[in-house]
Amino acid sequence: MATLERFGKLIMVAILLAGLLVAGMLAAQRYYIEQQARTIELTVDLNDLRKIAAFEKKPLEPILDELNKMGITSIGVFEETLPDAAAAGEIYYTKGSGLARMTNLNPAFNQLVAQGLVKPTRTYVYLPEENVRKRIVNQLSWALGKKNLKFLNKEVIEVNEAEEEIRPLGLGISESLQHYLTVKGFRIIPRVWHDPHYNLGNLDAKVAGLSDFDTIIFDGEEILGYKDSLNILAAALKKYKIKYGYIEIVKQDGDKVLRKLMGQQLIRVHSIPKDELKKCEKDEVINRFVRAARERKISLIYLRPFLPPQIDAFPVAYNLKYFQEVKNELVKAGYTIAPAERMPALKVDGWQILLLGAAVIVGLLFLLNCFFRLNIIISFLLLLISLILIIFIGVTGHNLILQKGLALLAAIVFPSLAVINSFSRLPRQGFLLWDCTFILLNIIAETLIGVFLQIGLLADTRFMLGIETFAGVKLALAGPIMIVALYFILKQGSGGFWSRLNSFLNQQVKLSTIIIGVVVLGGLVVYLARSGNFTLPVPALEAYARDYIETLFYIRPRTKEFLIGYPLLLMAAWSILRGRKEWFWLLAALGTIGPISLLNTFSHIHTPLTISFIRTVNGLVIGVVIGIILVWLVDHFLKKELTT
C-alpha cells in the first residue's frame, strides 16, 4: 500500500507539472501579444477645443494645426443637433407658431404661410443643401418614424413634433465638419448619447448612419439602446465594422453587457471626467495617463483640457503644452502615438483547460489531505469525478465558466496550501532571520504554482480586454485566511478532525480574545471593501504615500503585501521557531494576505505580465526588509526582557 501511495503521489505531481507546462506556454503567448501592443491613440474633444479657443477669442484652425504637428491623430466629435446645424448655417428651423406670427422670417416659408400650410404645434426645417438634407431627414425619420415627416416642398420638411422635443436629437456628423477635419489629417471618433427614440426597430439604421467611422465612444450615463436593445446595437456595430471604445472605470449603464456582446471589437479608453479633472493637478493627470497605458493596457486616451478658473487666462497655450507633455511622457515610456489597434486573439483550448483544471484539482486534493487523511484510491476517484465534470461542462459549451471557476479555486487553494505546507515543514534552526525568510520564500514559491495555473486559465483576449473579469474576488481574498486559521486552530487539539473541531467550538473564550476578534474582523471588512474601485475612497495621506513609493520603485507594490502580509508571515515563522505559539494561528492566517495579494495581482489580466512581475518583486523585497526588522526588534526585546 505504501508503494501505491508513493506511486499515486508521483502521478499527481506529474499532472501538476503538466498543468504548469501548459500554463507556461499560454503565459508566453500572452507575453508576446503584450509586447507587441505598444500603440496609444491620443484624442481631443472638439467641443473642448472650441471652449479654450473661445476663452481667448482665437480661431480654432491654428489650434488644430498645432495638435496635428504634435501627433494627435483623432478628434472626438459629438453628433450634430438642430441648433448646431442652424448655428453652422446648414439649416434653418422654427416652430409653426413662430412662422405664423412673423412674416418674411425666411423666404422659403413665405409661400407656405400664405397657403395656410403651417400648423402652430409642428416644427419646420429648411434644408437647402442636398447632402445635409439627406442626412438630417434620414436621422429624423429613424428617430421619429417616416409618418411624422412630410416634405412641403423640395427644401422644407414638416416634423410632427414640438421643437423642444426634437432639439436634443443627435443627427449624425456634419459633412462639412467631417471634410474639414479629414483634410486637416484627423480621424473622427463620434460621441453618441443615449436616446429613448432608438430601439429594436431603428438602431441598425442609426448605426448605419455612422458607418463612415471605425470607432464610437458613447457619452452620458447610459449606452445607446440601454437596456433592452443592446444586442441589436452590438449586432449593428459588428455589421458595419465599428469598434466600441469603452471608457474604463467610468460607470455607464449597459457597458458591461455591450462589452461581452462586442467580443474583440473593442478599444480600451481612459479619460478623466470634467468634474474630476477640476480637482487634479497637471502632473498628476499626466502620471495617471502614463500609468493607465503601462499598467492597464489602454489603447486610446481621451484628453480633456484644463479650463479657467482652474488655470490662468491663457488656456490655449497651457493645454497645448499639456497635450505635448502627455505625448512626450508616453513616448518616453516606450509607446508609439498612432491610431488604436485591435488586440490579436488569444484563446485557451478545451484540452488546455482540462490539463490546467486537473492541476488545480490536484492542489485541492493536497489541501484536503491536510485536514483529512485521504488514501490514494479515494484521491484518484475524486480526481476522476472532477475531470468528468470538467469535460461535461466543456462539451456543453461553458468553457468560460470553467476558466473562471477553476481560476477562483486556484486563488483559494494555493495560498492556503503554501502557508500550511511551509509551516508544517520547518527548517532546522540555524540563523533565525534566514530561517524565517526561508519559510516566507517557500510560501511564495508554492503560491507561484497557483499564479501560473491562473495565468494559463485566464490567458484569453476577453480577459485581457476587460470584457470578462476574474470572478469571486471577495471569496478569493477571504477564503484562504479562513482556511489557514481553521487549520492551525484545529491542529492545536488532539484526535480526529471532527473531534478537534468539536473541541474548538466548545472551548471557553476570554473577553480579551473576543475584543481582538472584533478588531481583526473589522480589519478584514476594510480589507475586503478596499478590493474594489468603487467601495472605499483612498485617504489623501495614503494617496501621497502611493505616489511617493511609485516614484521610488517605478511600479508601486501592493501595500497589503509589504506592510501586512509578508511581515506577519515572518512574525509567524519567528513565533513557531521560538516556541511562542499562542498567537501563531492568527499571525499565519493574517499573513496569508501576502500570498493572496500576490495571486490577486496576476488576476488583473488587463495588466501586463511584466508589470505584475515587477510589482510582485518590489512588494516581496520591501516586505522582507520590513519583516526582518520587525522580527529582529521583537526577538531582541524579548531576549532582553528574559535576561532581566
Which cell goes with 487?
487549520
- Residue 47 confidence (pLDDT): 94
266 Cβ contact list (under 8 Å, min separation 6): 243, 244, 245, 246, 259, 342, 465, 466, 467
Domain extents in the chain: 2-34+345-643, 38-77+178-337, 84-166
C-alpha distance from residue 267 to each of 278, 340, 351, 468 (Å): 26, 7, 30, 14
Q: What's the CA gap between 307 and 319, in Å, rounded?
A: 9
Judge if pTM exceeds 0.95: no
- Residue 534 confidence (pLDDT): 44
List average pLDDT for each run of 10 residues in the chain, which is 644 residues long. 74 94 95 89 95 92 93 93 92 80 66 76 89 93 91 89 89 93 94 89 91 93 90 94 90 90 90 89 92 90 91 88 95 90 87 96 94 86 94 92 95 96 80 89 96 95 87 89 90 61 58 53 55 53 66 81 92 89 87 94 91 93 93 80 53
Pairing type for strands 156-159 and 123-126 reads antiparallel
> Residue 97: which H helix or E strand, with range?
helix 96-101
- Residue 432 confidence (pLDDT): 83
Amino acid identity of residue 268, one-letter, is R
- Residue 153 confidence (pLDDT): 87
- Residue 533 confidence (pLDDT): 46
Across the beta sheet with 149-151, the strand order is: 92-95, 123-126, 156-159, 149-151
Q: Is the dihedral of CA 184, 189, 195, 199 positive or negative?
A: positive
CB crowding 214-250: b at 16 or more within 10 Å, else e: bbbbbbeebbbbbeebbebbbebbbebebbbbbbbee
Burial class, 54, CB count within 10 angstroms (exposed 0-12 / middle 13-18 / buried 19+)? exposed
Which cell goes with 392?
461535461
> Residue 42: which H helix or E strand, with range?
strand 39-45
- Residue 121 confidence (pLDDT): 84
CATH class belonging to 38-77+178-337: alpha beta
